[in-house]
Amino acid sequence: MSAGFPNKPRILRGAFVEFGLSLPPLVVVFQFNPVQVSRNRSLAFTFPGAEEADHSTPSKPGSRRGLRHFHGGFKDLRKLQEQQLVTVQEQTIGFDIRIDATDRLDDGDTITEQFGIAPQIATLEQMVTPKEESLLGAAVDALLGKPKGFSFARSANPPLVLFIFGRKRVLPVNITSMAITETEFSTDLNPLRATVTVGLTVIEGKSVPYLYSKAMSEAMSALNLANIADMANVVVPG
């Protein structure tokens, strides 16, 4: 007789995975998925000639011309949409990662017994540290002599990280902020519990991970057409 529930669904875990080869390889699988993930994208709207209008003197014609005044000159919203200028900012993502040594201590994990959750925290810290500062990468480079110009500590920038959150989101990101709060310690002061608050900026472009995630998002939007009948309950002026 097998233990547990055979039909229990498999719960996927989110993760940070470094994109590209380096030493040490950086991978953090979330012990607990975030309870909340916030995503934000801001847009700025302006109009042709706005900069000149901003710098004109009050006595000059057009000095009071603003976005509201610009919108007032259009009856056709499609023409307005084509002519107003829009700056779309990058998508930002924020959430908390919770790390707890309790389960692994109960299981008798020797690394956790000796170091607590320090290895996970250290890996997260390496994700916001320039790769050229890696002592291990530099040692391997010195040992191998950087064959064909390759370097394990090749970049003055922090590593490029993939934020993986389910099958539909595999996003290349820059980690823009990271705040680590350690809340419990062992007798030799190794951290046992911590909350890590991270801020991310999605790297949008033509990379394979981003295009994959964008395609999945568009596919989800297409599925929303199944609710098109709900338009019957919306009042649209004729």
pTM of the model: 0.82
Confidence of residue 231 (pLDDT cuts 50, 70, 90): confident
- Residue 28 near residue 123 (C-beta atoms within 8 A): yes
Task: Spell out the residues 6+ positions from residue 12 whose beta carbon is closer than 8 angstroms to its own.
Answer: 166, 167
Q: What pLDDT does residue 76 have?
A: 96
Confidence check: pLDDT of 113 > 60: yes
Tell which residue, 23, 184, 200, has the closest CA to residue 96: 200
Indicate the pLDDT class of residue 62, thresholds 50, 70 and 90.
very low
**Distance from C-alpha of 234 to C-alpha of 227, rounded to nearest angstrom:** 12
Map the chain to HEC letters. CCCCCCCCCCCCCCEEEECCCCCCCCEEECCECCCCEEEECCEEEECCCHHHHHHCCCCCCCCCCCHHHHHCCCCCHHHHHHHCEEEECCCEEEEEEEEECHHHHHCCCHHHHHHCCHHHHHHHHHCCCCHHHCHHHHHHHHHHCCHHHCCCCCCCCCCCEEEECCCCCEEEEEEEEEEEEEEEECCCCCEEEEEEEEEEEECCCCCHHHHHHHHHHHHHHHHHHHHHHHHHHCCCCC
Provide the residue count of the chain.
238
Domain map of the chain by residue range? 15-40+91-220, 43-88
Average pLDDT value for residue range 165-169? 95
Report the C-alpha gap between 194 and 117 in whole angstroms: 8
Q: For residues 152-166, give the mean pLDDT.
A: 83
pLDDT in tens, 86-110: 999 999 999 999 999 999 999 999 9
- How does residue 25 score in pLDDT terms, banded at 50, 70 and 90? confident
CA 40 from centre of chain? 11
Buried b (16+ CB within 10 A) or exposed e, 159-184: bbbbbbbeeebbbbbbbeeeeeebee
Two tokens at 9?
Answer: 């669904």
pLDDT grade, residue 63 (50/70/90)? very low
